[in-house]
Amino acid sequence: MTHIDAPATALTATGLTAAEVADRVARGQVNDIPVRSSRSVGEIVRANVFTRFNAIIGVLWLIVLAVAPFQDGLFGFVILANTGIGIIQEWRAKQTLDSLAVIGEVRPTVRRDGETASVATSDLVLDDLVEIGPGDKVVVDGVCVEADGLEIDESLLTGEADPVVKRPGDQVMSGSFVVAGSGAFRATRVGREAYAAQLAEEASRFTLVHSELRSGISTILKYVTWMMVPAAVGLIVTQLFVKDNDLRVSIARTIGGIVPMVPEGLVLLTSVAFAIGVIRLGRKQCLVQELPAIEGLARVDTVCLDKTGTLTEGGMDVTELRTLDGADETYVRQVLGALGESDPRPNTSLQAIIDTYPDAEEWRCTESLPFSSARKYSGATLSEGNGESGTWLLGAPDVLLEDGDPALDETERLNEQGLRVLLLTRTVRNLDDPDVTKGAQPVALVVLEQRLRPDAGDTLRYFAEQNVRAKVVSGDNAVSVGAVAAKLGLNGRTVDARRLPDDREAMAAALDDGTVFGRVTPRQKRDMVGALQSRGHTVAMTGDGVNDVLALKDADIGVAMGSGSEATRAVAQIVLLNNSFATLPSVVAEGRRVIGNITRVATLFLVKTVYSVLLALLVVGWQVEYPFLPRHVTLLSTLTIGVPAFFLALAPNTERARPHFVRRVMRYSIPGGVVAGVATFVTYLIARHRYVGEGALDAETSAATLTLFLISMWVLAIVARPYTWWRLLLVASMGAAFLLVLAVPWLQDFFALKLVGMTMPWIAVGIAVVAAAALEVLWKWVDRRFPV
């Protein structure tokens, strides 16, 4: 058999011998690019240890260890513990990603010693003969040696969406993928010389970028740094030079004022939350190739679904054969069997025909035209046993027939039942004729039934409940796709994409109005994603075929099926290795958990930063000693922020993801921090007037600590809402721990906390109660005045 694109090509190449392969391996001419689905252990350690705030805290810690008691240096050990937790969690996430990446790794087919075998990408050697077909990604650079209607999409390299026809002798670039036909190429550049090395690393890197959450936290930390510098300088000058105190005490109180300004645990906790999300999803066979994808899918408001492989299972069944114009059914069966045999890499529709109609041995294929999603038909020139030959086309009836043809009415009725219909026609034109479909004579309708995914209906209902709009975008007949969607409970306007306007604004309006879109070309899928994004929608695209790659690449979140083409898996941020569309709600839930919980705990961290900066400025303005030692800061941070934040960040959370992370966090943190700082300083000033003599400073500090703890606990109580039994237990446990410190003598001495008398402690409590009431009123006012 020959193909119209390569009539003289004979498939005779046998590939390398085992000895030649061994020789190239010995010489290092092997595709030895390691699979990198995650950061290395060294990168994880560096990212968690060598941070700006760790450097600040580390220097302060060393100073405290040199001049102050051991308990004033506890904050340093907390940082070590938190950093260790971050490293361990990301290392666990790395293991999960690495193991899942191996499961989803492509295994190219090579021809060696005249036989074909699948090998790992890293086992390819120079001059290997690699076989490729529809959906396969070219993993190394090479030269085409065999081509049977081979069309390769190089859009990921050149940006040009039109497939390029490849003939023997043409260059084949790694990173491109096959959209039609089949062939083989000889590897000319492997390993780090091939472009695939760069592409694979970019496609599968464990990234922490392009996330509103992380970029928002970076913005907050930048502002925090600007506030810290003048406050810290003023505090240092006041404590060391203005007040005539002991040098060691002055240094300790200076550091006690600087340390709480640093929200060091916020970045760490975000990384841990993301990493644990990766682990949880990994257990459900969901490979997250980029961490922000977890967050991104939670922000999605529109999901574009490819019907085949997403709403339906991969297989199909032939349910009926309807001959037209008196055609002989036995003869038609033979034609279909021969057509099936003509394609070495059949799609699901053709595979169903192959399974139903066995090959007629006396028939022979002399030329073939592989199926293309752009053409929507395939073809072959068949020689019958009696010597006669004919050219046949098999594809979409509405593409092969002129408008108004009687066969289209019957096709429409079948499509309305959710059935897929292929038309077999006989043409008098050659396969390489651009108008090969003109004048084609309809012979038979092949009726196929798609297998619906049992979990698709529940998943669509979940998205509807979450106000996420589902758009079915398929290359199949619009009526048929609409019927399938209706069976799954997805109702709405059905649109034939061939009638969609080219103008982006007009297309966006049509997309908002419609639900099911049929006869969508690969280029249109990409345009539809762009049109939706132009209206401010956050778009997720699911798919498994090569016709989905461009749209997956442009969508905010690309979701590929594990059984789909390697090209789709390469560009998608999320790969469902178990091919279950029902996994998507888990990804959405995980993203909402991360976003909602980090927003909660960010408020805790930044309230502390705001009141710390404010206290430092007030101390500088009043020319007094800073009220806290580092040990007091450690105790307060641990009980009101550190421990609660860890549990709150990992808790279930089904709140809808909302934008403007920085605004939402700061609108609570600033008033909360101001109230806490002012109330604490008022208690401190009152205590300074009530306590005199030896031990007065410790008594003043204890009273101020009590007020700040109670206010911080109220902030925690607000953030923990709505209450569940474990959240109430968490808040109560933190309060009980503080009471334990006040009640146990050796803990009093350790933390330098001892309430003196009865009046001042009750004044401290009273001020805290007033501040808590002010917080409630202020935050409700903020909700009304500054909605987001």
Angle between helix 661-690 and helix 584-622 axes, rounded to 10 deg: 30
**Whole-Å CA distances, 492 to 170, 471, 496, 499, 684:** 47, 10, 13, 17, 65
| Partners of residue 516 on adjacent β-strands | 472, 494
The kind and range of the H/E element at 109 are: strand 109-112
- Coil, helix or strand for 726? helix
- The residues near 649 (Cβ < 8 Å, ≥ 6 apart) are 269, 272, 273, 597, 598, 600, 601
Report d(CA 590, CA 576) in Å as an integer.
15
Instruction: Give me the residue label for tokens 């257990």.
Output: 283
**Whole-Å CA distances, 445 to 147, 384, 425, 482:** 31, 21, 9, 20
DSSP states along 531-565: HHHHTT--EEEEE-SGGGHHHHHHSSEEEEETTS-
Report d(CA 90, CA 579) in Å as an integer.
26
- Contact predicate 130/107, CB 8 Å: no
Q: How many CA atoms lie within 13 A of 430 on its CB side?
A: 6
Burial (CB count within 10 angstroms: exposed 0-12, middle 13-18, buried 19+), residue 102: exposed
User: Taking the C-alpha atoms of 608, 612, 618 and 621 in order, what is their torsion angle to the nearest 10 degrees?
Assistant: -160
Q: Which two tokens stand for residue 607?
A: 């309230």
Other beta carbons within 10 Å of 27: 10
Report d(CA 51, CA 381) in Å as an integer.
67
Report d(CA 351, CA 349) in Å as an integer.
5
| Partners of residue 189 on adjacent β-strands | 141
> Can 306 be counted among the known catalytic residues?
yes
Q: Which two tokens stand for residue 683?
A: 């208690």
Report d(CA 196, CA 137) in Å as an integer.
10
Report d(CA 522, CA 509) in Å as an integer.
20
Strand order through the sheet with 389-395: 312-323, 441-452, 420-427, 389-395, 377-383, 364-372
**Whole-Å CA distances, 171 to 109, 166, 174, 433, 602:** 19, 8, 10, 26, 53
- Contact predicate 474/306, CB 8 Å: yes
- Contact predicate 359/340, CB 8 Å: yes
Report d(CA 644, CA 161) in Å as an integer.
51
**Whole-Å CA distances, 37 to 172, 268, 571:** 25, 21, 13
Query: Phi/psi at 308 (nearest 5 deg)?
Result: -70, 125
Q: Which two tokens stand for residue 315?
A: 């297989």
Report d(CA 1, CA 93) in Å as an integer.
50
The kind and range of the H/E element at 295 are: helix 292-299
- Contact predicate 518/477, CB 8 Å: yes
- Contact predicate 541/310, CB 8 Å: no
- Contact predicate 402/423, CB 8 Å: no
Burial (CB count within 10 angstroms: exposed 0-12, middle 13-18, buried 19+), residue 652: exposed
Pick the catalytic residue from 306, 398, 527, 554: 306
Catalytic residues: 306
